[in-house]
Each structure stands twice: as C-alpha cells, then as structure tokens.
A and B are shown apart, each in its own frame.
Chain A
Amino acid sequence: MSVFDSRRLSLLIAVVFALSLAVVACAPEEAVDDDPIDEPVEEEPQRGGRLVIGYAEEPNTLDAHLTAAASAYFVMSQISDPMVDRDPETADFIPALAEDWDISDDGLEITLYLRDDAEFHSGEPFTAEALKATWDRALDPETGTVHTDGVLGPMKELTAVDDYTLLIEMERPFGPLLHGFTMAGYTHAIDPVALEEHGEDYGRNPSSTGPYRFDDWVSGEYITLVRNEDYSWPPEYYENKGAPYPDEVEIRYITEDAPRLAALEAGELDIARVPPAEVDMFMDHPDFEIYSYMTEGVTMSVWFNQDREPLDDVLVRRALNLAIEKDPIIAAAEEGHAIEAHGPLPPNMWGYWEGVEDISYQYDPEEAGKLLDEAGWVLPEDEEYREKDGETLKLSLYIQPTDAWIATSEMLQAQYRDIGVKVEIESFEWGTLMEYLSEGRHDMNLMGYGYGDPDWLYHIFHSGEAGVGVNWAFIQDPEMDELVEAQRYTVDPDERMEYAAQAQELAVDQAYWAPIYIRKNYIAVHERVQDFDINYRGTWLLHDVWLSD
C-alpha cells in the first residue's frame, strides 16, 4: 500500500459509512400537505379511477368451493353478493340477495325468497335454480370442496320451488347457517355460464353477481376487477345504490411487510393493512387515515395437551393460567396493540359470554404455586424447578417462528420459571407444526384464530376433532361435547347463545387453555380514498368508496 496506506483506508471506510448514514438520515421527508384548508367538505362522489389495494397473501384460486384462503375470500366478496347480510352497527341479519327467509320451528326447513332483479356478470338472471346448482356443486363429494360445505352444514336437499324461491331441507338443524349465508366469499352463487365455459379453470375466471367483475390475474403480481355497470342491488346500508364509483380495483400482492409498507408510503397503494409494530409511522402521516378493529378471535393463547401428564390434571392447568401476566406479553409481542383475552371467544363475536370476565384467571403466582403443591409438584430446597416422584416439571411449548409467537413464548418461559415450571420452546414451520400438533407430540402450543361464529367452540373443544381437526388440546369431555353440539345444531339464536355461554364457562372452569390476548389490527387508507369504512368485525365497506383527484 504505497499510495494508499492503512490510515487512509480507514478514513475512506469512515467517510463511506458517514455518507451512507447521512444519506439515510437526510432522506427527504414525505411531501407534507401544504394546502392550509383541510376542512371536511361534503363532496359529490366522482366516478373513475383505479383503487389499488395492497395485500400480503395471493389467493390460491377464486373458485369459492376450492379455497379457504382469506385472500381469496376478499376478492370473491368483491365480485359476488351474500344471500343475507349483517347490519354494520348491530350485527343483526338483514336482507341481501335473499329479500326474506323462513326457518321452520324444527330448524329442518329453510326457505330463501330471492330478489328478482339481480343478474350474473354473463347477463344470465340470478335464480333459485342457479343458487341450487352452486350449492349442489359445493356439497358434491366429487368437487373436493375445501370449506364451503362446512359453512353450508348438513344440507339434505335443495329445491327451486319457483324462479326466486329456494327450499333447503336439512338433515339436522344447523345453528351457524344464517351466518354462513352472510359469507359471500364462500356461499355466493356461481355464474353458470362462466362455470360451463371455463370448467376446471373456473378458479382463474370467476364470475358471480357482485359490484365488480373479474378482469385479470397476473400470477404473483395482481388481480384486477372492473366495475359492473349493471349493478343495482347493493346492501341497504350503503348510500350508493348503483354501480361502484371506481372504474377498477387492483389488488396487488406484496408478501413481505417492509416492501408493502414502502409501496404504501411511496403512494403506490391506496389501502393496505399495517402491522401494529409499524402503525405509529402512519398514525401521524398527513397522507393516511388509520382504521382499527379487533380480531374476531383470540389472537394468542396457550393450549394444554390433556392427553399427556401432568396437563391432564386440572390443578396444573389452573396454575398455568394463574401464572400468566398478560400485559408484559402484550407489550413484548404486539407493542401494546392488543387487549387481554378472558375466554375462548372475543368480545366482538356474536355469542361471546361476558361472564368470562368475572371468572377468568387473574395473575397470581402465589396461588399458582399452591395449586401445584396441591397437585404434588413441589419445589425442593435450592432447586429452580418443581419435582414429583423424582421427575422435574418440564413442558414443551410448540410454536411457529413469527415475531409475536417468539416474544410470547419467551415471556411465558420466564413467567412459568417463576412458579418452578421449566418450559422448552420448540419452533417449527407452520405446516410441520400443524402435523406435530395433530399427532399430539406437544405438551403445550401457542395458537391464534379468527372466526365469525361461536361454532369455533365445536372445532377446538369437541372430542371428535382431537387428532384429526384442531382440538390440539385433546379435550375429551362428554359435557363439553354435548354443549358444543347443542350450539351447533340449534337454530334458535337465544338458545344457541345459552349453550355457547355454558361451553365458555366450562372451558374457563376446567382451564382447557389459557387465553392471552386479542390483537388490534390497522388499515392505512390514503387521503385520496373517500368514504371508506369498516364494520364492527373489520370487514371493509367499499361500495361507497370513490377517489378524489
């Protein structure tokens, strides 16, 4: 190094570093809205423009019967209509494509009275016959239906009484059915012309009755939808009674959070979800408005495998509930953007029983210790962990390696250590995790869900779902089976609510699992998007949306 000695090299490196830091630090601020007048003025909605939505996950298919993906559900909801809807404020059932419905007293016959002015994108009229054909397809074992058959429940026979009346005969009454009819993404009517034309490739060329028509799908990039000019049957709670205002909707798929937020900030997206950890950046941003809602489910909970000792002992499970201090976990895992969960259902779900708030376990490590002593797990002198018959109290905790799960598992490990329980965290990729949980290899696992109906209790608590469904706690309790079956096969809402309440009470009493928190979710909406709203469960209400210049 004659020309360039090591001192100069160090200097150069230092300068390069300093410059790169300076470049990052001096990066220009986003253009601030310099229009001093920012008063809300009631403007006439304008037609035109392209609404660009950023989404993390790309759908696998848009054939409603072959997918359970939330991302597919979102797109299918834009191109279709539900049979029944829910009032955005009260959550009561209100008419949609079905103007009215009758349910027989025994719950075995449901009659849907359909509107007579709706039509499919192909121009074919929407009729009871078309709806029957769609649901027959979903219930046909040949179709390999993924989710819709579960939503429709035990239907025995469908009969088109006339063009606009559909009679549904059930094998058993099915409580969640009306809720299922609100789920346009799964239970909408499929355009018979498109299905005939595209056959096996229908999932890439979907068609229904909704406000937007499917236009294009560039795999790995985006899906575009165009306005259905003939649309005149939106839900009654919208101001807009006709076709949507934007010409097009583009749903752009950006899997990773950081690039999706970058696209949002760069103004390439109009609407996108923002992870709680990043929401502060957009809260004060002049170009965006933030909407928030609670997950309709318990986002984080610990499940105890009751097929294994010592978790088959209710005293141990209660102790493990009492040992959890939820606030620090919420701070660590979600930066505070969550509320404490008390039972298996969230407060914003129909069927939630408020009583769980009085009987749920409050943080009390001393009481937890006593319960463990009572169960025979005692702390020997100078030892960190409890023992029974010479065996250490050691439990595995299965997780998937996402930030929130890792943070929660580490907090739990520390909190359980305080009561003398040793936790070994084992982390697996999602597919592997689900298989291991079904095999029951774990002592405990973390889990979260989002669902729209208390029938979720059936899935997680019914003994028939252990090992094959998602009863990964391997709960085998005849009393619980009876309650979750009763809520499932009862159509009277009040009765269902009562059974669901009893199931929640039993779940808390028996400490089947430990609920931790319910996450808040955030949506950033660009200021050029007007009249956007969400309902109580976070569904985007897009039909009044228009784009300002």
Chain B
Amino acid sequence: MTTYIAKRLLSIIPTMLGVAILVFFMLHMTPGDPARAIAGLEADAAQLEAIRESLGLHNPLHIQFRDFILGALRGDMGRSFRTRVVVTEEIFGRMPATIRLALAGMVLAVTFGVAAGVLAAKYHKHIFDNIVMVIAMFGVSMPGFWFGLMLIFFFAVNLGWLPTSGAGTWRHLILPSMALGIRAAAVLARLARSSMLEVMKKDFVRTARGKGLSESVVLYHHVLRNSLIPVVTIVGLQFGRLLAGTVIIEQVFSWPGLGSLLIRSLMARDLPMVQGIVLYMALAFVLVNLAVDLFYSVLDPRIRYS
C-alpha cells in the first residue's frame, strides 16, 4: 500500500510537468498583449514598451519558460502582471474560499444525491421514484449560472432570506453551493439508484433476505455498501467538474475564490497568475483522484493496492 501511494505520488511529477508545459505554451500562443491589457486604450507606444520591459516580456520564450519552471519548483510563481501581488500569496488567500465552496457543493450533492438515489431505488416504480428522476433530469440539464441567478432572485431578492452575493458567513455559502452542487447531485442520484437496483438483483441479497434479515439491514448494510463503488468513482470525477464549475458559479455569486480570479486574470493576460491557478487546480484534481482510488479499498476490502 505504501509503495503504491509512493508510486502514485511520484507519478504526479510528470503529470504536473505536462500541465506546466501545456499551460505555459498555450498562454503564450494566445493572442493578446498583457501590457495593453494593463495600460488600457490611452497608452502610447513608449509606455507599452516600458511596461513590457518591466514585466520581463522581452526575454526570449525559452528563457521565460526556464524561469517559470525553476520558479514553480521553488514554489515561486512570481508577481501578477495585473495586480503586482505575489501570485502564490493571492492563490493561497483565495484557495480556502474555493475549497469551502467546492466541499459544500460536494457535501450537498452527495447527501441529497445519494439519499435521493437510494430512496428512489427503495421505492422503485412508485411516485417518489419518478419525482426524483424528473428532478434529476432538470438538475443535469440546467446550466449552473442560470440556476444560480434563479436562486438569487427567488431566495435573496424576493424572499430576502439570504444574501445575493459575496462571502463571509455560512448564509453566503448556501445559494452558491446549491447552484454548484445541483448537477452533481442529479448525476449521483441517477447513478446511486441504478447501482442499487442492480445490486438488489444479486444472489447475495436474496440470500440475506432468505436468512431473515430485516429489509433495512439488507438495504443499508448489504446493498448500499456494494452499490457505492461506482458512486465513489463518480464522486471523484464530479469533484473535478465541481472545481471547474466554481469558475462560473464564483462569477455569478461574486465569490472570492480562484475561479473568479482565473477569469479576470485570463482576460487581462495575467500570465503568472493564470499559470499559478491552473497548476494548483490541476494538483488538487490529481490529489482528489488519488484519494478516491485509496477510498475504494476501504469500501471493498477485496481491492488491494501494491
């Protein structure tokens, strides 16, 4: 197990290097002048030139790449072109907000998604099953930003129960995490339901029932546990989607996380900041995947890593 974890951790290095190369060259190939983005329309030629000089954009590309990689290895991503703050400081300052939002979204999604899926399976072919599946269909097909706006108008503007945007208190967290989590909840509900239904047909379930175990023990002890493997896989994948989803949801709710910063930085061709955010988000995704893989063996003792 330890060897496996060590191997997996080592494999992160080439992955991250690949991400670094990709993000660096893709950004540098994208048209758009960071100096112009900073200086605005009024800047004249001499001013733009001076700004490029001060940002180090005059160096040849391979030198810029070398500096970027060496810096990244030391954990130094430089200063933002746009805000002139230290990139890692800004990222670490904003990361908790994004993690908080993604986790809240995930907790909502897993709690409501799995519970709804399990109940739908339990009441298979009853009205409850159908209601859950119709709602899940809406959940999967609704664009997050639209749903977010609807939540704002209904709960914040009309009812006045919750703040429209911003962060700070738990009340600020409710609407964005709902908007973020709805899609994952819907996916998980459908998956949990079908996975449960499949396991229910298995022989060992019939045996358990034959032994005279109560229906709830059969359902929650035997069926549920065996249905969870595919669910956990999807939870891992959905977490990646959720992280990506924060980019839009943070924008809608003015949530001060990495997603809204990424959009702003991309627009401004703030190369150091974009590179930093993409690297850290990629790292988070890789680590979550590793955690999911390790979690399998907890769920199913037959799975052993070596």
A interface residues, Cβ below 8 angstroms from B: 1-4, 8-9, 12-13, 16, 23-24, 27-28, 58, 60-61, 63, 66-69, 141, 144-147, 149-150, 200-201, 203-204, 218-222, 252-256, 258-260, 262-263, 265-266, 268, 429-432, 434-436, 438, 449, 451, 456, 459, 464-465, 468-470
Contact = CB atoms under 8 A, between A and B. Distances in A.
11 contacts: A2-B125, A4-B126, A147-B43, A150-B43, A252-B166, A254-B166, A255-B264, A263-B156, A266-B156, A431-B32, A470-B41
Interface in B155-176: 156-160, 163-168
Given A150-B43, A220-B260, A259-B152, A60 B268 contact: yes
Contacts of A149: 47
Interface centre among A24, A141, A255, A259 (most CB of B within 10 A): A259
Given A27-B154, A220-B254, A259-B152, A147 B82 contact: no
A69 B40 CA distance: 7
A456 B158 CA distance: 45
A174 to B, nearest CB: 14
B260 A66 contact: no
Contacts of A203: 83-85
Interface residues on B, range: 35 or more
A256 B152 CA distance: 13
B174 to A, nearest CB: 15
B68 interface: no
B267 A262 contact: no
B251 A256 contact: yes
Nearest to B269: A431
A459 B41 contact: yes
Contacts, number: 186
Contacts of B134: 9, 12-13, 16
Contacts of B32: 429-432, 434-435
Contacts of A150: 42-44, 47
Interface stretch (B89-97, B207-215, B223-231): B89-97
A1 B127 CA distance: 10
Contacts of A254: 165-166, 254
Contact of A262 (B54, B126, B153, B269): B153
Contacts of A141: 50
A220 B94 contact: yes
A69 B149 CA distance: 28
B90 to A, nearest CB: 6
A54 B40 CA distance: 22
Contact of B256 (A4, A219, A431, A469): A219
Given A4-B126, A144-B54, A220-B94, A259 B268 contact: no
A2 B154 CA distance: 36
Interface in B235-255: 250-255
Contacts of A146: 38-40, 43, 47, 51
A-B pairs with lowest CB-CB distance, top 9: A220-B256, A431-B32, A144-B54, A468-B45, A68-B40, A27-B158, A263-B164, A221-B256, A435-B31
A20 to B, nearest CB: 9
Interface of B: 30-33, 36-45, 47-48, 50-51, 53-55, 79, 82-85, 90, 93-94, 97, 125-127, 129-131, 134, 149, 152-154, 156-160, 163-168, 250-257, 260-261, 264, 267-269
A218 B261 CA distance: 13
B50 A430 contact: no
A206 to B, nearest CB: 13
A266 B157 CA distance: 5
Contacts of A432: 30-32
Contacts of B261: 219-220
A254 B31 CA distance: 27
Given A1-B125, A4-B127, 9 more contacts: A27-B158, A147-B47, A220-B254, A221-B166, A258-B252, A434-B37, A438-B36, A449-B41, A465-B45
A321 B269 CA distance: 35
Contact of B254 (A27, A221, A438): A221
A456 B126 CA distance: 71
A66 B54 CA distance: 11
Given A68-B38, A470-B41, A262 B257 contact: no
A68 B43 CA distance: 9
A399 to B, nearest CB: 15
Contacts of A67: 38
A451 B40 CA distance: 12
A58 to B, nearest CB: 7
A362 to B, nearest CB: 29
A86 B202 CA distance: 83
A469 B44 contact: yes
